[in-house]
Amino acid sequence: MAQAGWEVPARGLSRELLPGLGREPGRRRGRVKRRAETMVQQVLYRALVSTRWLAESIRAGKLGPSLRVLDGSWYSPGTRDARKEYLECHVPGASFFDIEECKDKSSPYEMMLPSEAGFADYVGHLGISNDTHVVVYDGDHLGSYYAPRVWWMFRVFGHRTVSVLNGGFRNWLKEGHPVTSEPSRPEPAVFKATLDRSLLKTYEQVLENLESKRFQLVDSRAQGRYLGTEPEPDAVGLGSGHIRGSANMPFMDFLTEDGFEKSPEMLRAMFEAKQVDLAKPLIATCRKGVTACHIALAAYLCGKPDVAIYDGSWFEWFHRAPPETRVSQAKDGKA
């Protein structure tokens, strides 16, 4: 079923985050519920906006310092050219967020976060300040691929007013919303980045967690790559497999066939089916810290805003971790 008009304001949170609801009769209960929802909204910003909402905002002339749109597309080398496609066709007013530019280029690993100063400088040049509502999308055929990574990047650097365009550019086009080839040239702004370390985990922390088991660990890659029965795509010297003790929730399963995010009820059932307890700490991992952000987004939509991402993910783990911590069903017996 399509979710084209579905948005997730904070009031869509699970009941357990609204203490006292269901016990107050009549009018008093209504007041308590409104107060509780107001308090939660101060913590959780709507993670999704609909294509209709964005189209109406653009039509109403709301794009500017208070609302910026980003195209966060990225594709494997030799497949599609994200920047070229942006220059040919994008949401009016959108800027191109080049994830290859906004990363730690000195790292030997694939897609590590930039420094606070690096991120602040990059998004500031896109006209984004700490008062800007940022809406991010990508052009992947699934509906969403890299957009949740950009969403998480803003959040890990302390910016809460950021949303993913539900359905992505795929559905923006399908629904006939306007597009342009004119590049956006916003006035630079000042952005102050403050790294929220609670949303980020390092190799050392994940290694320690194998013993302490304080966090649940969930891998978002396709099942074959997780098991080690299928190779890692476009990888030289990188075997497939997973970190010992991690569960598998392929990120594609969080999306409907039409490319929209599944409802919180469906997402919650998926976590329960995998015996992932959203009331407990959770680390998400993948190959390079990108699709892991789909797990963080799905949990957020269920009312859990504190999922941490292991930024180095399997790429770093494969090259650094003790062999006994890598699990694989590869025919050669190696992860």
Query: Is the separation of the CB atoms in 89 and 181 below 8 Å?
Result: yes
Q: What is the DSSP letter of 46?
A: -
- Which element (helix H / strand E) includes 124? helix 116-124
Task: Tell me the helices (H) and strands (E) count for the chain, helix number first.
Answer: 11, 12
Residue 248: name the closest of 289, 276, 267 by CA.
276
Measure Cα distances from 109 to 113, 174, 182, 308 in Å.
10, 36, 34, 18
Rounded CA separation 295/307 (Å) = 8
Task: List the catalytic residue out of 89, 102, 286, 293.
Answer: 286
Tally Cβ neighbours within 10 Å of residue 67. 16
Q: Among this protein's residues, is 286 annotated catalytic?
A: yes
Task: Count the alpha carbons within 13 Å of 112 in the hemisphere toward its beta carbon.
Answer: 14
- Residue 100 to residues 112, 122, 281, 318: CA-CA distances in angstroms? 10, 12, 30, 22
- Gap between the Cα atoms of 240 and 42, Å rounded: 41
Alpha-carbon gap, residue 59 to 101, rounded angstroms: 31
Alpha carbon distance 134, 160 (integer Å): 9
Q: What is the set of active-site residues? A: 286
